[in-house]
Amino acid sequence: MSFFLNESDRLKALPPYLFVEIDRAKRRAIDKGVKVIDFGVGDPDQATPNFILKAMAKAIKDSKTHHYPLDRGNAAFRQNVSLWVKKRFGVSFNPDTEILPLIGSKEGIAHLPLAFINPGDVVLVPDPCYPPYKSGTLFAGGQPYLMPLKEENGFLPDFEAVPADILKKAKIIFVNYPNNPTGAVATRSFYEKLIKWATQHKILVASDLAYSEVYFGKEKPLSIFEVPGAREVAIEFHSLSKTCNMTGWRVGFAVGREEAINALLRVKSNIDSGVFTAVQVTASEALKNSFGFSKKTNIMYRRRRDLLVAGLKELGFPVKPNQATFYVFTRLPGGQKDSTVFCKNLLESCGIVATPGVGFGGPGEGYVRFTLTVNEPEIREAIVRMRKVL
């Protein structure tokens, strides 16, 4: 006997997850024998550094790490997060009340709306954006209100233009700088205005700072907590995925207002059992050594960026060098508008995977995103392939 399974309305409301679709297209090309060069998903191509592997080998042999983690996570990890944030941003957080380990920052971001959003509430979401801002809102029964990010505005949202009727229902605003997919960075004045505005309208600022350690200029990207007043209105998400090449390890953390941290903890304690303790112990060692590691990887990413940008310019892309993240986000060459068609043709004719800008949201149409997680010989090969077609 069989029966019909009807998906929930919230699941039906979700668009196909962008990177899953891209991976399927890539695998189809590989199955046809194509040697694919993958500029698609932002997954570092370099291995997790050896000092982290050694720390994990030691931690996993300790049977004390084999049990359920405590709700708030490993105390030593939280203490090391506090020390890292203080050293990096000059801001102190209480490791017992203002820091929460996460199974990657994506998990915390997606679960945050469950803590604060009731059906019909609004979450202000930048557009284009990292998809979980929208999907987490929809799962919580909320309504995403999209704030367009325009190149002429430095890809910063005009939150002051949000209509009054939307503001009355808004509970959270997501911001993400350094930004995925655009590579833009936020200024101190932007955060100052945002904090004042969020305080006035009683809106929680959810700052996604996953790319804080991937930058190319002398000025390091800011944390919102470096600006006075942020502690009253903000929660910030960090990840070791890009900082320490630990994408598959699934470990990150949130810092911020105690009430926000506690609410997210209550959600998580009913959904998951925390980060494997051995991973938390290892993450502590990763943070202790992250600054030197990031300096080396940023030199590598900068070389790749310069090589890719020079090649794309030669091919007619109106590209500008990004100051942070390992993404190059550019308008399509020759005034082309359809990013999905462009990326489809790029894969079929050149064996190159790139991400259509529209996949991150409507304002991303006409753009394409390339990651810098591709080695220099492959970047050169990609330029040669594109030159033959473009």
Q: What is the pLDDT of residues 361-379, one digit of tens each?
A: 999 999 999 999 999 999 9
Same-domain pairing of 262 and 361: no
Token representation of residue 239: 């990840």
Nearby residues of 347 by Cβ (< 8 Å), 6 or more positions away: 25, 26, 29, 36, 353
Here the CATH number for the domain that contains residue 136 is: 3.40.640.10
**b (16+ CB within 10 A) / e for 145-179:** bbbbbebeeebbbebeebeeeebeebbbbbbbbbb
User: What is the distance between the terminal CA atoms of the chain, rounded to a whole angstrom?
Assistant: 55
pLDDT digits (tens, 9 = 90+) for 204-219: 999 999 999 999 988 9
Question: What pLDDT shows up at residue 23?
Answer: 77
Cα separation, 96 vs 356, in Å, equals 42
Predicted local distance difference test score (pLDDT) of residue 174: 98
Q: Which residues contact 184 (CB under 8 A, 6 or more apart)?
A: 149, 154, 155, 156, 177, 178, 322, 323, 324
Higher-confidence residue of 317 and 390: namely 317
**Distance (Å, whole) CA 79 – CA 62:** 20
Residue 147 belongs to some domain of the structure: yes
H/E element holding 71? none
pLDDT at 17: 66
In a domain, residue 3? The reply is no
Classify strands 367-371 and 355-356 as parallel, antiparallel or unpaired.
Answer: antiparallel
Residue 311 structural domain: 9-47+292-389
Total number of domains constituting the chain: 2
Token code pair at residue 343: 């990326």
Q: How many CA atoms lie within 13 A of 224 on its CB side?
A: 33
Q: In this structure, are residues 204 and 171 in contact, taking their beta carbons and an 8 Å threshold?
A: yes
- Same domain (yes/no): 267, 135: yes
Cβ atoms of 82 and 93 closer than 8 Å: yes
Distance, CA of 196 to CA of 63 (rounded, Å): 48
- The DSSP output letter for 240 is H
pTM: 0.94
371 beta partners: 327
Q: Which pLDDT score is estimated for 83?
A: 98
The predicted structure's pLDDT at residue 2:
60
Q: Which of 46, 89, 26, 62 is nearest to 296 (CA)?
A: 46
Over the stretch 62-93, which tens digit does the pLDDT of each residue have?
A: 999 999 998 899 999 999 999 999 999 999 99
Considering the domain boundaries, does residue 2 fall inside one? no
pLDDT tens digit string along 13-61?
877 766 677 778 788 878 888 899 999 988 999 999 999 999 999 999 9
Based on the fold, state whether residues 277 and 301 are members of the same structural domain: no
CATH number for 302: 3.90.1150.10
Flag whether pLDDT at 1 surpasses 70: no
Which domain-ending residue is among 264, 289, 314?
289
* pLDDT of 115 above 90: yes
